[in-house]
Chains A and B, each alone.
Chain A
Amino acid sequence: MELNKIEKLLEKYFAAATTIEEEKVLKDYFASSNVAPILVQYKPMFVYAVQTKKEQFTATLSLKTKKRSYAVWLSVAASVIVLLGVAQFTFNQYNKPQWQDLGTINDPEIAFKETQKALDMISVHVNKGIGSIKYINEYEQTKNKIFK
């Protein structure tokens, strides 16, 4: 390739007026082994461009994201539905109005006595509970004896 032509192309190249074809000519010229000594300084620019284009995307590409997230949301939705279903079912099961005949008392006097009896029973149990709290007091005293 005549030196003259290459020099002209270079001039155009630096003015950004070359076409892709002309730039290819330059790249080929500088890739060859017989570059004119005055032009050797330009060699790296063109060699670099050619070399760099060889670089490739080597990481593995995964496009799964979209599908996977779909599956995830689908399973989340499904499990929520199942959960709600089970909850609804058990809720209904336990809260069924129970028709138990507990009887009724018509005479206010007897009713009063029955109520009193029931309340007595409660207070007896409560007192029993309070009784066992006294032990805790015992502990307190022992503790006070040890840690003065």
Chain B
Amino acid sequence: MHQKEFLQLVNPFKDKIFRIAKRLLVSVEEAEDATQEVLVKLWNKNESLNGYKSIEALAMTMVKNYCLDQLKSKRAGNMKIVHNNYADREAGLQQKLEDKDTWSWVEKIINNLPEQQKLIVQMRDIEEMEFEEIAKVLEMNEQAIRTALSRARKTIRERMMKIQHYGIE
């Protein structure tokens, strides 16, 4: 397989990989590194890729594993700061205005969910993947995924309510 062919092959889902990585790792830079890493790993598999039914599903599994490993090693290394873009958060009127936009609250809420729920919300609500695909990537059964998703959605709703009613009641 040529590099061009490979790039065409991964093009449809490279953004998806990036978004999943960003969901887990939070920082843009780290998510970019993770995406890069996963794509290079895929490229190195090159010849054996034809053996896989869905390269996209494979990539999803790889990025999930990579990010979880990354988080694990970070926690083991006692590094508490996961995201490095604090500076951007604080600075700028633009950013502050954006923060007021309620949907950035949604982001914060999702990022505070347990990792597994985070992944499920990301894959279902944002990437619009079927339960079957998600089940494969996470190596869980569909029912468990539905349960976790329902719980996550309800948590988001609850916390949103709290934020919206804050100051009113």
Contact = CB atoms under 8 A, between A and B. Distances in A.
B35 A59 contact: yes
Contacts of A61: 7, 14, 35-36, 39
Main DSSP-derived SS at the B contact region: helix
Interface string A1-38: 00000000000011111001001100000000000000
A57 B150 contact: no
Interface stretch (B52-60, B80-88, B155-163): B155-163
B40 interface: yes
Chain B interface size range = 35 or more
Q: Quick one: which of A15, A44, A57, A62 has the most chain B CB within 10 A?
A: A57
B103 A48 contact: yes
Interface string B8-43: 000000110111001000000000100110011001
Secondary structure call for the A interface: helix
A63 B3 contact: yes
A15 B160 CA distance: 17
Nearest to A19: B130
A14 B157 contact: yes
Interface of B: 3, 6-7, 14-15, 17-19, 22, 32, 35-36, 39-40, 43-44, 102-107, 124-128, 130, 145-147, 149-150, 153-154, 156-157, 160-161, 164
Interface of A: 13-17, 20, 23-24, 41-45, 47-49, 51-53, 55-57, 59, 61-63, 65-66
